[in-house]
Amino acid sequence: MCIEQGTQQQQQAQIKTAQVQEQRRQQVQAETHQEDYMAQYLQQKGGQYAQDARNAYLAQTAHMQDTAQLGKKSFKSNTQEKKLRNERIDRAKLMTDRATAYTLDVYDQMKEVREKQQMRKQARAQEAENKVIVLKTMGNWQQDTTEQQAAFLTRMWVVESHIYSPEMFLTSNIQKKENFMRYYTWIEEYEELMEAYQKDQDAYAPYAEDIEGLVEHLGPVIDALRHRLQVFCEQNRVSLKGEILDETAESASLSDTDITDWFEKVREFNQWKHHFNVSGGPLTDEERESFREMREEAGRQENLQNRQNAQPLQRTRDEAVSTPSDLLEQRSRQELRRLNYRLYEAGLTDAAKTVHAYVQGTRYEVGYTEERKRLQKAIAAVNAALEKTDNLHAVHLLNNMKDYFAQMTNGTLQIPATAQILDCSNKELKETGGDGGGSTRNAMIRGAMRWSNQKDTPLFSHEPVTNDLKQRLVSNCYMVASTCGLVNLNPAVLKECIKDNGDGTVTVRLYENEPVKKEKTAEQKTTEGGLGDDLEGPDDFEFIDMDEIEQYELRPVYVKVSKEIPRIAGADALSAGALWMQMIEKACAYLGRNRRTGYQSLWYGEGGSFLERLLGIPRELVNKDTPEDQDALFDGICHASENQIVYHAGTYNEKKAAGGNDTDGLNTGHAYAVLGGKVENGQKYVLLRNPYSTHSLQYKEDNVRETTGSLLSVSSDETYGQFYMKFEEFVRDFQTVSLTDLKKKPAL
């Protein structure tokens, strides 16, 4: 009996131990998930790993000194700015001894928000009728919606539709006036709506389920944001109600738990909102467009007039750096972040810090040169850690990191064992050919340029993205634009064309038209030289057999070049930044074109013809003459991604386009990348990119050309050369359009 009891106790102890272990495992997984989530949202300019990713975020978020300690006057008020600051400090101190200049700023911002709230209240009565019409067009809403219900629901959707992110908790974000006023407005609007709902719930009974669902998920987020702003305001000696705090008032505080919980609240809310919208939420683009059309049909011509007078569709910076290729690159960088956290978790702190500097220092934040330096340091740090450690787990983690870098920085070109490689790595690049084709300017470039050895530079400093490509001094826009379109559609196909050999050389696969050799049949050999027994022709006429006409086919050519690139005064002479594009250009220069070799052979061409050379896929010209052709073209551009078709477009060589219209809004004789299409307010647009990128003459609208950058300020163009153009103007002002169907890629 005692033995049985002992056995049962042991089993229970084992079960309990297993349960505890499982709980710990789940807790670790949950913490790891949360840490990864928080690390993902660290500011890109954020600091280093302190103890872990969470602490780094906490340090950024919670660090704020009570500004009562910061409001000292400057006795060297020799500038107008310092004089004004001193005056503001004096004004603030009249209200309370502990107030500061920034106290007054926060106070004024809160006052401005409240005044705008009052103005909006007056305007809502005029807008209510339109909101009723909008709601009545929606199949999942009541047709007897009142003005009161319509106003309430649309205001709720406005508050819900804003992007809530972990960065909103950072002090550096809240201190920006536009952010502070926006956050404070959301809180004021939400509280006002909740007060109205609590006072008269019966009025909103038909929509109670939807309102309660939104309150359930949005409420905790607003509450957390309200507490964060309360801490911020009180540390600046202002209450959240807009009152200056006296000397004895204590500021609210922000705990580590508050900060950590914010991540989970934001994550849950965004997941719910995504599900809500996908499942038939009230605000989709299609529904918005439908609402506008219905209002116009109802006789509201002012809406139609506003649309006709609307400003042209503008590309934003956020959109420009969030292309499909950018999203893939971010996914790759997130995988690296996950691997790096494992390094930190294993105690490999030095290597993790160095890798983290690369992860955070994207090309958009620090530029190509700095990003490459950080990448090289990260690779070196991982290799150094491998040499020092003999811990099997650490070795495994470091090898995973090493494999990631090897895959990311290299191409995926597969060279058949029987392939002949044209080795140009030790050959001088000769410029041959007659006059024309940019020969004069090319000669000047050749005289000024110097070769820069990049043997230690990674071929890819990150996964390729659309904005990597920038044309400079050589007129090879067709190469840059078509490659840009390819990367926008499918970066993996680009990486299949190139490979870093690891010895300071790179191999590029190109395609050349080569004659097809045909073996003659026995019958052809016996009749060779004659016309046949029953045929007789005149002495000056000769029949040519079709088999005797020379035929050509695209065949791969593998070109090996050194990792040296041409530069002028330390700047890239051809494509700027992306080493992989410079290697492709160099391979094309060695192979030559149009009986020329060297970079002179790259001047002028058509995008589809270049991708034919790079991918071995014959280009297809697109007809855009008839309305039917134009409809098919626009539909194809809009669905290029799913159809895997790259479109190419080139402008007229002169300033007169079809129909005699000036094309001053575009560079003449220039190739542009076609990145997509969309319909906005009933207007068709094509998204294009100028390969000159940051220093270029950008198309604005109505044939207006605008300089958006300079050689001295290459970052002045926020959209990296991307812009929208009305489709009818695209058809009018572009001379040629062709396409490359990636589904027709030849098998090797």
Model confidence band, residue 523 (pLDDT cutoffs 50, 70, 90): low
> CA triplet 255, 258, 259: central angle to 5 degrees?
95
Among 90-104, 400-414, 588-602, 621-635, name the one with the lowest average pLDDT.
Answer: 90-104
**Tokens representing residue 131 in the block:** 């909101």
Core vs surface per residue 707-729: b (16+ CB within 10 A) or e: ebbeeeeeeebebbbbbbbbbeb
- Ranking 135-149, 509-523, 541-555 by mean pLDDT, the lowest is 135-149
The answer to whether the CB of 246 falls within 8 A of the CB of 96 is yes
Do both 168 and 143 map to the same domain?
Answer: yes
Average pLDDT over residues 487-504: 95
Residue 142 and residue 274 share a domain: yes
State the Cα torsion 86-92-94-97 to the nearest 10°. -100
Residue 61, token pair as written in the block: 């978020």
Q: Mean pLDDT throughout 198-219?
A: 83
In the listed set 368, 386, 409, which residue is the last one of a domain according to the structure?
Answer: 409
pLDDT band at 283 (very low <50, low <70, confident <90, very high): very low
pLDDT of residue 628: 93
Instruction: Convert the pLDDT of each residue in 345-391 to its tens digit.
Output: 888 989 999 998 999 888 888 888 899 999 999 999 999 999 999 89
Are residues 33 and 47 located together in one domain of the fold? yes
435 and 398 both lie in a single domain: no
pLDDT bin (cut points 50, 70, 90) of residue 22 is: low
Summarize pLDDT for 529-588 with one digit per residue, the tens. Answer: 443 334 344 444 454 555 555 677 889 999 999 999 988 877 787 888 899 999 999 999
pLDDT, one tens digit per residue, over 611-651 is 999 999 999 999 999 999 999 999 999 999 999 999 999 99
What total of structural domains would you count in the chain?
5
- Label residues 423-445 b or e (16+ Cβ within 10 Å = b): ebbeeebebebeeebbbeebeeb
- What are the φ and ψ backbone dihedral angles of 322, each rounded to 5 degrees? -125, 40
Check residue 13 and give its pLDDT. Answer: 60
Q: What is the dihedral of CA 87, 90, 94, 99, to 10 degrees?
A: 110
Q: Are residues 55 and 73 in the same domain?
A: no
| Residue 325 resides in a domain | no
Final residue belonging to a domain, choices 568, 599, 630: 599
Task: Give the model confidence (pLDDT) of 235-271 as tens digits.
Answer: 777 787 777 776 667 777 777 677 767 777 877 787 7
Query: Terminus-to-terminus CA distance in the chain, angstroms?
Result: 76
* Mean pLDDT for all residues in the chain: 75
Residue 312 belongs to a domain: no
Average pLDDT over residues 188-215: 83
SS3 738: strand
Same domain? For 498 and 378 the reply is: no
Residue 123 lies in a domain: yes
DSSP letter at 98 equals T
Do the domain assignments include residue 118? yes
Residues spanned by the domain of 215: 67-244+252-278
450 and 509 housed in the same domain: yes
Classify the C-alpha dihedral 353-359-360-361 as positive or negative: positive
290-319 pLDDT, tens digit each: 444 443 433 333 333 444 444 567 787 778
> Does residue 396 sit in the same domain as residue 426?
no
Same domain flag for 343 and 484: no
Domain check: are 128 and 240 in the same one?
yes
662 vs 186, more confident? 186
Give DSSP secondary structure letters for 356-401. Answer: HHHHH--HHHHHHHHHHHHHHHHHHHHHHHHHH---HHHHHHHHHH
Per-residue pLDDT tens over the stretch 594-613:
888 888 888 889 999 999 99
pLDDT for 40 equals 46
Confidence of residue 7 (pLDDT cuts 50, 70, 90): low
With contact defined as beta carbons under 8 Å apart, do 470 and 691 qualify?
yes
443/492 same-domain check:
yes
What DSSP state is assigned to residue 721?
Answer: T
670 domain residue, yes or no: yes
Q: 498-500 and 571-572 as β-strands: parallel, antiparallel, unpaired?
A: unpaired
Domain presence at residue 605:
no
Query: What is the C-alpha separation between 697 and 471, in angstroms, rounded?
Result: 13
Q: Tell me: pLDDT of 60 over 60.
A: no
Predicted pLDDT of residue 235: 76
679: CATH? 3.90.70.10
Q: Judge if 16 and 96 occupy the same domain.
A: no
